[in-house]
Amino acid sequence: MQRIKTVSIFSRSNPDKRLFALMLVAIVVITIDSQIGYVADFIPEQLSSNVGVFTFVVIAVIFVITQYLILDYVKKSNKEARERVRHISKLHTGVTVAQYLLASVVAIVILQILLTQQYNTITLYIVYAISFGLWILILALLAKAFLSWYKLSGKNVMVLIFTLSMIIYVVNGIAGLAENFYTLGQQKKTITSVDVAHFPEFSIESVVSQVGIINNISSIAAYILTWIGTVKMLYPYIKKLGKTKFWVIMGVTMIYYLIEYPLFVLGYFTPSENADAMTNILVFSLAGLLTGIIFGAAFLSVARTLRKGSTLRNHMIIAAYGFLLFYIAGSSAASQAAYPPYGVVSISFIGLSCYLIYTGLYSSAVTVSQDTTLRISIKKSMTEQAKFLDGMGSAHMEQELQSTVMKIAKKQADVLTEKTGVESSMTESDIKEYMAMVMNEIHKS
């Protein structure tokens, strides 16, 4: 009997292009789902129509397919890291199980709608619990990993900044979960085709309003810290990217994200009963999308300047897509309980996006810090041993020096890789090139 071979779409040539196409589909689907969810109370009849229900089903099917393919890509790209570090393998398994559970819950919602023209809001509670639970757990693990690496890397400031940002993101996730749970508590237990999405309003003195303030403040603080950490992490590659392009990308990101909150407070995007209310809501809700695109573009732009197939390039690409999905999905809502529940698919992407951030950002930060540590080790070794060559001018001894330092560098790289589970992006040719540069500096001095 002939064996049927299964081949992943990512095992062929040009995996970057296929990953881009896959992420583009996911981003479009999440954006459509979340935007419809935001204005669901304006178009209840269109949503409950056959076209509205069919569109929701199509979005859900695409969600199931794309999440499977994304997990398949990460599994293959992190194969070596999962073999070295047990917790990475366990985390991947846990995220996979959680995403399949989310797909099952969404399928149950669809069946309830198709068979009974209604659904139970308990399914929304489950989706929020799993998705935000992954958010909180994964970013807490990332904060812990960064903290341990902070000590290991000689108290690297960049790693400390990311540690603090991840801790605040955890607070943001907890506050967001509490706020959405409270909002869901104001909805009916069973949502029918005649029900309209409801965005309850609360007095400023209420507990939920205070939680909402904590949610907004923690979101801003986490973003600022992540922005600073990203700038610091990508700064060594600013020459390859171009200073003007780099600061334009990062500057626009910061301004657009931070300006939305004062504009909202001032009332420019406050929902009202006038004809512009729906437009105002859509413009405000696009902040997450545009911020995610620009923020992800920073990683993608630098990734393109790196050697194809390099570990750092792959990690930065994954981190870029993680932030893209996180800022779009994280700013969406399903607690308004629309019929069908537009926004629930976007929420289901939150845990997966956090996992992409974990694998990409942690590995990128570790790789950059690891390369910096390796360069310092190489320069120190060459400087100390070059003292023996002072005044001798022996080409043979210079070759011996390079050979000795190469062995030290490889050993140092192996030690760092064993401790972190992430390989250095510096190849043997990169090490030799850096050694030649250091040797030139030594000769000049």
The number of angstroms, rounded, from the C-alpha of 225 to the middle of its chain's C-alpha atoms is 15
**Percent of the chain whose pLDDT exceeds 90:** 29
Helix (H) or strand (E) holding 391: none
- Segment 229-255, tens digit of pLDDT: 777 767 766 777 678 877 887 777 777
What confidence category does residue 360 fall into, taking pLDDT thresholds of 50, 70 and 90? confident
Identify the sign of the CA torsion 80, 86, 87, 92.
positive
In whole angstroms, give the CA distance from residue 132 to residue 345: 13
- Segment 255-291, tens digit of pLDDT: 767 776 666 555 555 555 454 555 555 555 666 666 6
**Entry field: residues in the chain:** 445
What confidence category does residue 394 fall into, taking pLDDT thresholds of 50, 70 and 90? very low
Cβ atoms of 344 and 127 closer than 8 Å: yes
CB atoms within 10 A of CB 102: 26
Which of 23-32, 46-55, 149-158 is predicted with the least confidence, judged by mean pLDDT? Answer: 149-158
* Whether the predicted pLDDT of 3 surpasses 70: no
Cβ atoms of 292 and 26 closer than 8 Å: no
pLDDT for res 4: 40
What confidence category does residue 157 fall into, taking pLDDT thresholds of 50, 70 and 90? confident
Could you identify the residue written with the tokens 């669809």?
Answer: 110
* Whether the predicted pLDDT of 371 surpasses 60: no
Task: Record the tokens describing residue 395, joined without a space.
Answer: 């080409």
pLDDT for res 304: 73
> Partners of 120 in the beta sheet?
190
81: nearest Cα among 291, 318, 433 = 318
Identify the sign of the CA torsion 254, 255, 256, 259.
positive
- Exposed e or buried b per residue across 412-431, where buried means at least 16 C-beta atoms within 10 angstroms of its C-beta: bbeebbeebbbbbbbeeebb
